[in-house]
Chains A and B, each alone.
Chain A
Amino acid sequence: MSVNTGSIDGEKLKLKRRSGFTDTNLLLIITIAVFFVMYVCAVVFLKKGFTKPQMFFNILNENASLLVLSCGMTLVMITGGIDISVGQVTSLVCMACAVHLEQNGGNVFSSMCIALAIGLAFGVVQGFLVAYLEFQPFIVTLAGLFFAKGMTTIISSDRISVTNDAFVKLSKYEVEIPFLGSVNKKGIFIPAYVEVGVVVALVVVILLFIVLRWTKLGRNFYAVGGNNQSANMLGINVKLTKFLAHVLCGLCAGIGGYLFFLHACSGSPLHAQGAEMNAIASSIIGGTLLSGGVGNIVGTLFGVLSLSTIKMIVTSLGFDDPWWTNITVAAMLCLFLLVQSVILARKNRSKK
């Protein structure tokens, strides 16, 4: 595995020792195992590029934004809600930043501020409607999705490519990974690299992991998702907790949107189509239950990795037709849902 995720693995082991072997841990272990088995199989049987470390880092490069979106989604799902607006918010952020950089002559820093502000605004409004006015999260974020989609095309219906020097430099900046790399045909060692976005995404993952694991707020998320009423009786401010979960998710959508922008270097209404479904799928594969109370950021990280690995395997197997990726992703989702369902049923039976 990579250097970056090593520390998280260590933390996971510690956690396992503390809480013992439970069903929800089993879900996490299955996810991680599936990812490793899949990757090893790809390395052994497919070879084509999978043996190079760069292949792994390319998965990260391409999915940095999805990773951040999924982490935000996991937070909301742990509290028992859902946010389906994140994909379109990503698209809106890309478009707003592209217009800001290209047509209004803004600089990179202010574009980052715009991205965060858009994400935060969506988070605050949706969080308020969900937590304090008690609307169904699905409906509220559905309206958010519609709104973001419409706003994106109102800003511009064309694809805008960014040529701002500072931004392109930032976008093309490669962080080299020490000791890892491959030798090309001419015998020159090319070190593996990741983009800036991946570093940001991993920082977000680690921060959220710490928040969920060791802070009061994080424990409140689990309590609220597990049982609303008992959390209330324990003196937890349920409304505030739900509100904060949505705000954090919105913030993640802002960051994820900017990372997508950084990777794509353009704004278009077609960006990040269906990203919300990928984010939900990653969270579920990572062991988060939509009913709330169960979930783990590490699981989500591996959920994203598994999802993107299987996509890559399908493409390199020669199933180039666009429908095969979707069908495999759906099959994988189906498989994980069935496993989850069986494990949960077993857990409920043992409780009785």
Chain B
Amino acid sequence: MTDKQISSGNSVKGFLGKMVSNQLFIPLAALLLLVLFNLVADPTFFKIALEPSSTGNLILSGNIITIIDNASELAILAIGMTLVTSASGGQDISVGSAIAIAGSVVLRIVKGQPADISSLSFYGMLFGAFLLCVAVSAAFGAFNGALVAYFKIQPMVATLILFTAGRSIAAWINNNDNISINDTRFGYFGNFIPGIPVPTPVFITIICLVVIALVLKFTNLRLYSQAVGINASSSRLNGINPKSIKLLSFIILGICVAVCGFIKVSRTSSITYSVIANNIEMDAILAVALGGNNLGGGKFNLTASVIGAYVIQFLTTTLFKFKVSSSAISAYKAVVVILLIIMSAPIVRKWFADRRNRRLAAKAESATGKEVA
């Protein structure tokens, strides 16, 4: 009888243990916690309404839509950041500055256009601007990557260079002018396309996720970057070129940055060099960490990182909802992040597991003791 109980208890515990040890557990549990918290505090948080916007389109509005919309940039960045973390064992802290550069490049091209330009040539020009912005961002990514891969500088320090200079370069590209684009068509990519009630960045994010999923499925990128991250010299002996893999991961991050920069400037149709994408590098790194990825490189789980990005945006929106001022938000975020990281730390998990095992052992012992008596 007692044996049976213990064994069934064990299998339940085993299942729980398997779930807890899954990498997706931490971000999903955090998401669930946030959802429950909001459900208890204010059920109207989850209301989604279809309302006409100021321009007369029918659009979806509500906190959930806001979260999914605003997390787009973070989710796209999390893709690149996860790859960089995996291959190079460090993080790129220059993404915020690089987004400023990318946005500045786009605006530089778009601002010179006449107002009465036809739709076709406008989108053609926009596409050209986007391609140029991708090229510039990829070049800056390659610069970071070359410093990391060929000069063996720690990623954080190497990207410190662009972090310091990036916003200044962005200001320099446009001569520090305050640019705002009046053409409403430019705002379609960061807001809503007329007739479609879902914000455009969501589609862009989905496209990016599908592309990276296909790349990971049909190429060896995942295997190679994990191998390089775990042991660069042994992967070199196995015929992988660790330098080019590292460089490649930084270039991919550069492309992600270009997409983010495009969305960012399209959202407001303007740019403020010192404020645009402020602190986004911190959020992106946190998303990777929240996803349970080892920040020292090696194995990675992209899904977990992307969910981590949404968790962070969920947290931010929840805090906004409770009237926390935007500058004070970081203090609360820090507390939550520390708690989450403490929960996910191997040493703490081991301590809990030890405790549980000891309790089980004690229970079993007392049970046998009773039987003997």
Contacts and interface: CB of A to CB of B under 8 A. Distances in A.
Interface of A: 82, 129, 133-136, 138-140, 142-147, 149-151, 153-154, 157, 269, 274, 277, 280-281, 284, 290-291, 321-327, 329-331, 333-334, 337-338, 340-342, 344-345
A139 B289 contact: yes
Interface string B126-160: 00000000000000000000010001111011101
Contact of B160 (A142, A281, A327, A338): A281
A146 B282 CA distance: 9
B165 A284 contact: no
A133 B348 contact: yes
Contact of A135 (B158, B282, B332, B341): B341
A330 B162 contact: yes
Given A143-B334, A277-B164, A327 B327 contact: no
Contacts of B286: 139, 142
Contacts of A134: 345-347
A105 B223 CA distance: 62
Given A146-B337, A150-B331, A326 B296 contact: no
B161 A333 contact: yes
A142 B285 contact: yes
Nearest to A348: B152
Given A147-B331, A149-B331, A326 B341 contact: no
Contacts of A329: 164-165
B160 A147 contact: no
Contacts of B164: 274, 277, 281, 326, 329-330, 333
A291 B154 contact: yes
B280 interface: no
Nearest to A82: B156
B360 interface: no
A150 B91 contact: no
B275 interface: no
Interface of B: 91, 147, 151-154, 156-158, 160-165, 167-169, 171-172, 176, 282, 285-286, 289, 295-296, 325, 327-335, 337-338, 341-342, 345-348
B265 to A, nearest CB: 19
Contact of A153 (B91, B163, B167, B327): B327
B247 to A, nearest CB: 15
A146 to B, nearest CB: 4
B162 A150 contact: no
Q: Which of B151, B157, B164, B348 has the most chain A CB atoms closer than 10 A to its own CB?
A: B164
A281 B335 CA distance: 28
A333 B160 contact: yes
Contact of A323 (B158, B169, B282): B169
A27 to B, nearest CB: 14
A147 to B, nearest CB: 4
A334 B161 contact: yes
A288 B66 CA distance: 44
A284 B160 CA distance: 11
Contacts of B156: 82, 138, 290
A274 B279 CA distance: 12
Contacts of B161: 330, 333-334, 337
Contacts of A344: 152
A269 B327 contact: yes
Given A321-B176, A322-B168, A323-B171, A337 B334 contact: no
7 contacts: A133-B348, A147-B335, A277-B163, A323-B176, A326-B164, A330-B161, A330-B164
A351 B226 CA distance: 29
B167 A326 contact: yes
B23 to A, nearest CB: 17
A52 to B, nearest CB: 29
Contacts of A129: 338, 342
Nearest to B346: A134
Contacts of B295: 136, 138-139
A342 to B, nearest CB: 8
Nearest to A333: B161
Contact of B331 (A146, A277, A284, A330): A146
Contact of A150 (B168, B285, B327): B327
A18 B329 CA distance: 53
B334 A146 contact: yes
Given A150-B327, A150-B329, A323 B337 contact: no
Nearest to A132: B347
Contact of A341 (B151, B162, B163): B151
Contact of A345 (B91, B152, B160, B165): B152
